[in-house]
């Protein structure tokens, strides 16, 4: 009997101890931190950001910004209080790392004339998240005394070994050649070669981009070949398409434009006739067909052209309702040769896009 009682007391005691332990375990606060935490150097980071979750407790520690300006380990301490008011400190380590390469600001095409050395690092800027001063070097071979295109690299390396390599081209031009480069708002590269603008390789003429007065001498062979193809296809469908107005020289456009200005005033003339140098007809890639007037709109011929011209490399250059983009009102008779690839893109399943929209360029006179 006595032994039984003793055993019972022991068992009860053990149970109580276990129960207390369980209760204590259940209510004791617990913090879990994000494991193997790496934070980029100079990143805005707070002590509380390192916490994954908290059990049975409330954070006492204030939100504090961590100094992330130096590489290496940093210890973080977080204090937690449970419902009984018992507080405890927890520690973790975060590692400040630099895995980001420097950023180089540069021009992707540099030009010079033969024999004229230029500083390839002029205007090149480099920044890095580590805030260190980083030097840029040029990699690749080039010769200022030999015309050509040299593919080169700007290379920048930070102290953590992160390397950034950016490709650029050095063009050494022959004397008398003049080239300048730009990038459109849609990211296409443009070049102005001796006064003629090419975007993504396509010649562009509009109110913003002009042609030199000496440019052009008739419709180009590829334009004529493509037109003959189009003409044959139209005939098979029962339509007679003919060129009413093809190439127009700069001088011819001077006369035309001035006459329109005399008749309708400059503002009106600018909506339907290009100023000299700004007419696509001078490019040799453009023509007007059949009836050059609003009466041509919606004729079977105009509709056939609108739906089929792209198959032969032509675009409806001034689509209906795109006056703001092209700078010109709807011209159902005016077609421009761009080749089949671009023509199909601009045809856009029947919802014609303008060159201006596609390339991300404007068509506005400077003055």
Which residues of the chain form contacts with Zn ion (CB under 5 A)?
Answer: 288, 334
C-beta closer to Zn ion: residue 322 or 334 = 334
User: Which lies closer to Zn ion via its Cβ, residue 47 or residue 206?
Assistant: 206
Report the half-sphere exposure of 3 (CA within 13 A, side-chain side).
0
Work out how close the CB of 228 gets to Zn ion at its nearest, in angstroms, rounded to a whole number.
19
SS3 50: helix
Catalytic residue among 331, 356, 357, 366: 331
One-character DSSP codes across 245-278: E----HHHHHHHHHHHHHHH-HHHHHHHSPPTT-
CB 328 within 8 A of CB 208: no
Contacts of 184 (CB under 8 A, 6+ apart): 190, 199, 359, 360, 361
- Shorter beta-carbon distance to Zn ion: residue 99 or 271: 271
Helix ranges, the chain (H): 2-27, 221-236, 250-264, 266-272, 300-308, 323-326, 340-347, 355-359
Taking a C-beta distance cutoff of 8 angstroms, is the pair 335, 304 a contact?
no
In terms of CB distance, is 47 or 283 closer to Zn ion? 283
Residue 338: CB atoms within 10 A of its CB come to 24
What's the rounded Cα separation, in Å, for the pair 334 and 235? 19
Q: Is the dihedral of CA 43, 46, 47, 50 positive or negative?
A: negative
> What phi, psi does 309 have (nearest 5°)?
-60, -30
| CB closer to Zn ion out of 37 and 292 | 292
331 in catalytic set? yes
> Residue 155 CB, nearest distance to Zn ion (Å)?
50
Closest to Zn ion by CB, 72 or 218: 218
In terms of DSSP bridges, do strands 30-33 and 51-55 run parallel, antiparallel, or are they unpaired?
A: antiparallel
The vertex-125 CA angle with 121 and 127, nearest 5°, equals 140
Q: How far is the CB of 283 from Zn ion (least distance, A)?
A: 11
Token representation of residue 33: 């931190």
DSSP strand pairing (286-289 vs 179-183): unpaired
Nearer to Zn ion, 158 or 288 (CB): 288
Shortest CB 302 distance to Zn ion, Å = 14
By annotation, the residues acting in catalysis are 331
């Amino acid at each position: 009997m006595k032994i039984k009682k003793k055993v019972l007391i022991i068992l009860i005691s053990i149970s109580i101890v276990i129960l207390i332990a369980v209760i204590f375990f259940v209510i004791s606060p617990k913090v879990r931190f994000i494991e193997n935490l790496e934070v980029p150097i100079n990143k805005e980071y707070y002590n509380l950001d390192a916490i994954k979750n908290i059990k049975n407790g409330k954070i006492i520690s204030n939100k504090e910004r961590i100094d992330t300006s130096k590489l290496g380990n940093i210890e973080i301490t977080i204090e937690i209080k449970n419902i009984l008011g018992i507080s405890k400190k927890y520690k973790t380590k975060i590692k400040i790392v630099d895995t980001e390469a420097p950023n180089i600001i540069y021009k992707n095409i540099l030009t010079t004339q033969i024999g004229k050395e230029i500083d390839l690092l002029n205007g090149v800027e480099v920044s890095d998240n580590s805030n260190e001063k980083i030097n840029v070097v040029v990699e690749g071979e080039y010769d200022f005394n030999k015309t050509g295109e040299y593919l080169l690299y700007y290379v920048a390396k930070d102290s953590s070994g992160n390397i950034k390599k950016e490709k650029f081209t050095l063009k050494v031009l022959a004397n008398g050649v003049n080239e300048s480069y730009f990038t459109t708002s849609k990211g296409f590269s443009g070049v102005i070669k001796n006064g003629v603008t090419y975007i993504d390789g396509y010649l562009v003429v509009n109110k913003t981009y002009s042609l030199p007065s000496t440019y052009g001498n008739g419709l180009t062979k590829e334009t004529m070949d493509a037109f003959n193809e189009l003409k044959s296809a139209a005939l098979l469908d029962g339509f007679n398409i003919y060129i009413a107005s093809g190439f127009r020289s700069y001088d011819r456009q001077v006369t035309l434009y001035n006459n329109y200005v005399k008749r309708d005033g400059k503002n009106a003339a600018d909506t339907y006739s290009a100023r000299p140098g700004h007419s696509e007809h001078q490019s040799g890639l453009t023509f007007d067909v059949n009836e050059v007037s609003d009466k041509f709109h919606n004729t079977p011929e105009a509709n056939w052209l609108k739906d089929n011209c792209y198959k032969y490399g032509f675009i409806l250059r001034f689509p209906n309702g795109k006056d703001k983009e092209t700078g010109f009102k709807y011209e159902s008779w005016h077609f421009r040769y761009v080749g089949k690839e671009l023509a199909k893109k601009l045809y856009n399943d029947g919802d014609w896009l303008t060159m201006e929209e596609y390339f991300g360029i404007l068509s506005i006179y400077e003055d």
